[in-house]
Structure 1
């Protein structure tokens, strides 16, 4: 019971931090829309997707949702560094709750904030002429939860090895953009050179984007069940590994 209450408390704190800054919510919605409207329109004028309603903007719509989840989930790992610097993390560590539960509570909290942003974008699908029904919304929400759990676990894992915000941002700049660019969010992943295709299929976000594109646009490279299995395995591994590393790292600091 204490573990569940602890997880809930950490989850609640993460969400209160997110909802307290309304500018953050606004930015998290406006930035993806700018990508869709400006980048999608500009590049879409040169790339024709004649077999898809909405053209290139519709094609990148699932990818932009995945991008939002990626940036929100991974960069929220900064909260661990902030808590460590301000001494709040020590207070959590002495509480009657296990360290894996701390990681799980933070991961669920971060995933919830990413889910909120993802659902808002799904509800704005009409902007790019993509139809949205309750079935599509629910399936997409399930995939978003899986993606965000895996990516938040990755962010927490990296934060466990990093002592400063500058170091975290430096590491992220070498990880986040390659993950996004190699996910197929902005271009089809079929017909690529073999070396680039290998990098694309190693990337776990590729399967998240493909799953969302399957559900929203009914177009994908892989079967939906394959995408879901890969994303689920990634999420479970990231949570388990980040919990293990976090426990060892913070134990050494106590």
Structure 2
């Protein structure tokens, strides 16, 4: 398991050298919160869901930030392949499962850090700390999101040889997953034909789980959210390891 730690350590070293990337990945969703959330809070009422639209939006933006960061980690695999580092790792006497775990651990840790960082500026716009139990539950959901979508990003990067193709593929994943997750609009307000699609979206359960953890309100029971995300995490990890093993 030394290779897992070494790949994780390498990702953390790269993160420490590029804090501007972390800052930008937090500034963009926070700006979205201010522009959209604050602007609509006085117009949109959320009875039984949240005190105002801004507080409804914050958990969704945390989940989406973790997802985007996790998926985007696959680009590091692209660079490793381009500069020969990945080839050197693949010929080393280690299993491909360990390589996947190492890349996933590094990307997931980065994603979790960025999700946590977003919570601090959220306190400036009226968000209140949910207490230790709520914070720990939200952190658990962030871990599940980070592992799942980082694995998806690593798998996409392993199957697509160029960064342009990787960008297009991740866009095809993120746009529908984000738009149909309940991060921006309550599930109950969506058209009847859209709601079933929303309920097969794993990010929906992440958003609702974090929303319950941080605000105490959710449109899906938190136990169901946790079970779905745990299952999705297992499926993506096992499936990702299998597909990575097929990489040439």
1:91 matched to 2:105:
no
1:153 matched to 2:151:
yes
Secondary structure of residue in 1 paired with 2:246:
helix
Q: Deviations over 1:2-43 (max 9, x none)?
A: xx2110001111111122112112112211210111111223
Whether the 8 Å contact between 2:9 and 2:106 is mirrored in structure 1 is yes
Number of aligned residue pairs: 247
Residue 49 of structure 1 deviates from its aligned partner by 2.9
Task: Give me the whole-angstrom Cα distance separating, in 2, the residues matched to 1:199 and 1:18.
Answer: 35
The aligned counterpart of 1:187 is 185
Task: Give me the whole-angstrom Cα distance separating, in 2, the residues matched to 1:69 and 1:225.
Answer: 21
Task: Give me the whole-angstrom Cα distance separating, in 1, the residues matched to 2:194 and 2:25.
Answer: 30
- 1:1-254 alignment runs, 5 A limit: 4-49=1-46, 55-132=52-129, 133-249=131-247, 253=248
Whether the 8 Å contact between 2:70 and 2:107 is mirrored in structure 1 is yes
Secondary structure of residue in 2 paired with 1:194:
coil
Whether the 8 Å contact between 2:59 and 2:210 is mirrored in structure 1 is yes
Q: Deviations over 1:190-237 (max 9, x none)?
A: 143232111111110000000001111111112111101101111111
Task: Give me the whole-angstrom Cα distance separating, in 1, the residues matched to 2:42 and 2:3.
Answer: 51
Q: Deviations over 1:92-135 (max 9, x none)?
A: 11222110110011111111001111112223332232211222
- Provide TM-score, normalisation by structure 1: 0.92
Secondary structure of residue in 2 paired with 1:175:
helix
Residue 50 of structure 1 deviates from its aligned partner by 5.5
Q: Which runs of 5+ in 1 are unaligned?
A: none
Whether the 8 Å contact between 1:52 and 1:58 is mirrored in structure 2 is no
Secondary structure of residue in 2 paired with 1:190:
helix
Task: Give me the whole-angstrom Cα distance separating, in 2, the residues matched to 1:95 and 1:9.
Answer: 13
Residue 248 of structure 1 deviates from its aligned partner by 1.0
- Provide TM-score, normalisation by structure 2: 0.95
- CA gap of 1:52–1:205, structure 2 versus 1, over 3 A, is closer
